[in-house]
Amino acid sequence: AQTVTQSQPEMSVQEAETVTLSCTYDTSESDYYLFWYKQPPSRQMILVIRQEAYKQQNATENRFSVNFQKAAKSFSLKISDSQLGDAAMYFCAYRALQGGSEKLVFGKGTKLTVNP
Amino acid sequence: DAGVIQSPRHEVTEMGQEVTLRCKPISGHDYLFWYRQTMMRGLELLIYFNNNVPIDDSGMPEDRFSAKMPNASFSTLKIQPSEPRDSAVYFCASSLWTGGAYEQYFGPGTRLTVT
């Protein structure tokens, strides 16, 4: 079974600085999808960024970018120019491509604090 | 679009009572997912539907849990009888299969407390 591990339960960053959240996963498949979701105190889950495993180019969405290392099964999220509104729980998630399953497997999350 | 709608937002009930959580997916979406979030176990998938048909219910913890999707615009998750260990936030999510890394859209969640 696929597993997703986020080794940093909590992280903090100064406003305007850059922070990187780590995620590793375990799978025997070659094609899959990876996601980062944000959960602010409102509890709403919001998609931040997504990556197809077959794409070598790292995904970027404005201040958010990923470092996807397929061989190492690593998928870290970099937040540049951190803002107070970035404070939230961040979840890394995996979805298989083969097998017809649409199931998302989540990591346990990293709580990000942004200090003014 | 109003997004995924869940009701109630909060539910407090006593052990042994029946609890029904409701979800209205985004119009036109063909997948619906129920997740449970706890501190201990994180976010875990309970069950998901495709075109109103249950596809994978392997995450449903036990027979006390049941889920239905009678039509494309409504789903319920029922717990009967409820137990204190069922206390959690329950999320409903929906998506439209487009191939690729399509997004699952989450509702605001229902916080369930069983005393």
CA–CA separation, B11 and B113 (whole Å): 6
Helix (H) or strand (E) holding B67: strand B65-71
pLDDT at A64 over 80: yes
Residue-wise pLDDT tens digits, A10-22: 999 999 999 999 9
Give the per-residue pLDDT at A99. Answer: 64
CA–CA separation, B72 and A7 (whole Å): 39
- Mean pLDDT of successive 10-residue stretches along chain B, which has 115 residues: 92 98 96 95 94 94 94 97 97 89 92 98
Q: What is the DSSP letter of B58?
A: T
Q: Residues of chain A whose C-beta is under 8 A from some C-beta in B?
A: 33-35, 42-47, 50-52, 91, 95, 101-109
Interface test with B, best of A5, A55, A104, A108 (most B CBs within 10 A): A104
C-alpha angle A81/A77/A102, rounded to 5°? 135
Give the per-residue pLDDT at B97. Answer: 84
Q: In the sheet that B65-71 helps form, which strands lie side by side, from edge to edge?
A: B5-7, B19-24, B74-79, B65-71
Give the torsion sign (CA, A52, A54, A60, A66): positive
3-state secondary structure of B92: strand
